[in-house]
Amino acid sequence: MTLHSLIETYYDSQTGDFAKSSEFQRLESGRLNVIEIDEFIHNLCRSHLKSPQILAFLYAIAPPAAADAVQHNLLEEMGLDEAGIRHPDLLYQLMQAAGFSPQQQDAVTAAAQAQVRSLCTDPLMFGTIKELGLSVLLEVTCFEWMLARLSSRMGQALQTHRGIPTDGLAWFSHHSEVDIRHAEEGIEAVVHYVNDYDIEADELATILDITFRENVFIRRYFGGPALVLTAPEWEAVS
C-alpha cells in the first residue's frame, strides 16, 4: 500500500463512519431538536473559526514541497485570495441565519479562542513539534476530505430541518467546492511532510492511530454539550 492510499484509507474510514453515525443520521433525517441543531452549529463554528490560526501553524511547519498549497489554503481561508471570501465571515453568516444573538455569537468566538488557548496550554504529549504537526495536519486535511463529500448534505439538513436560508449556508456550499481540491492537496501535503521529516512507517502508524482513535468529526461537531449555551443554574437558587 502506498503512503497516499494508506492516508486515503483512514480519511475514507473516518468520513464513512461519520456519515453512518447516529449523530449524522439524526441531523440529516431531522431527528435532532432545535437545541441539538443549534449545539451542532455552535460546535461546527467553534471548530472552524480557528482555522486561520491552525493553517498558519501548519504553514509555519510545512515542508517546501507542500508550503505553497498550505499557504494558498490559508490565504483563501482569510479571504486574501482571488475569491476574497473570508471563511470566518461565512460562519458568522450561518450563526446569524440560525438566529444566534450577538451575545451567542460572541460566546462562540470566545469558545473558539478558548480552544486555541487549550492548544497552547494543554501539555504536549509528543516529544517534538514534528509529531504534533503531523497529527494536526492529518486532522485538518481529513476535515477537508470529509467536507468535500458531506458539507452539502449538512447544509441541506440545516435548510430542511432548521429553516436556514441558502444565503446562510454559504460556508457549506463553498466548502463542498473548494475542499475537493483541498482534499487531494491535503493528502499530498501529508506525503511530503512524512518524507521531508523522515517519519518512519511504524511511527506514522502510531500517530495515525492516536489522531484517529475516535471519530474526529463526531468529536468536534457532536462531542458534548456546547458549554456556553449551558449556563450554570444552581447559583441563583442556592
Among 1, 102, 103, 118, interactor with another protein by CB under 8 A: 118
Phi-psi region of 97 (alpha: psi -120 to 50; beta: other; left: phi over 0): alpha
Residue choice 160, 166, 195, 230 for contact with another protein (CB under 8 A): 230
> Residue 230 in contact with residue 155, Cβ under 8 Å?
no
Of residues 59 and 221, the one with the C-beta less far from another protein: 221
Q: Is 125 in the site for another protein (CB under 8 A)?
A: yes
Instruction: Determine, following the binding rule CB under 8 A, whether residue 165 of this chain makes contact with another protein.
Output: no
**Can residue 119 be called a binding residue for another protein (CB under 8 A)?**
no
d(CA 238, CA 227) in angstroms, rounded, equals 21
Report the largest interatomic distance among the alpha carbons of the chain, rounded to a whole angstrom. Answer: 61
- Rule CB under 8 A: say whether 222 interacts with another protein: yes
Q: How far, in Å, CA of 150 to CA of 147, rounded?
A: 5
| Closest CB 201 distance from another protein, rounded Å | 12
Least Å distance, CB 213 to another protein, is 6
Binding mask 126-155 for another protein (x = CB under 8 A): xx---x------------------------
**C-alpha Rg value of the chain to the nearest Å:** 18
- C-beta separation of 144 from 186 below 8 A: yes
Size of the site for another protein (CB under 8 A): 34
What string marks each residue from 199 to 218 as x (binds another protein by CB under 8 A) or -? Answer: ---xx-xxx-xx--xx----
By CB under 8 A, is residue 231 in contact with another protein?
Answer: yes
For residue 194, the minimal CB distance to another protein (Å) is 15
The three grid cell numbers given for residue 84, joined into one nine-digit string = 476574497
Stretch of residues binding another protein (CB under 8 A), selected from 59-67, 72-80, 120-128, 161-169:
120-128
Q: How far apart are CA 70 and CA 78, in angstroms?
A: 12
| Window 17-36: residues binding another protein (CB under 8 A) | 23
Helix (H, G, I), strand (E, B) or coil at 108: helix
Closest CA to 133 of 146, 147, 150, 119: 119
How far apart, in whole angstroms, are the C-alpha atoms of residue 228 and residue 225?
9
Query: Residue ranges of the alpha helices (H) in 122-169?
Result: 129-162
Residue from 64, 84, 102, 123 touching another protein (CB under 8 A): that is 123
Q: Does 65 bind another protein (CB under 8 A)?
A: no
Integer Cα distance of 12 and 46 in angstroms: 24
Residues in contact with another protein by CB under 8 A are: 23, 118, 121-127, 131, 202-203, 205-207, 209-210, 213-214, 219, 222-225, 227-228, 230-235, 237-238
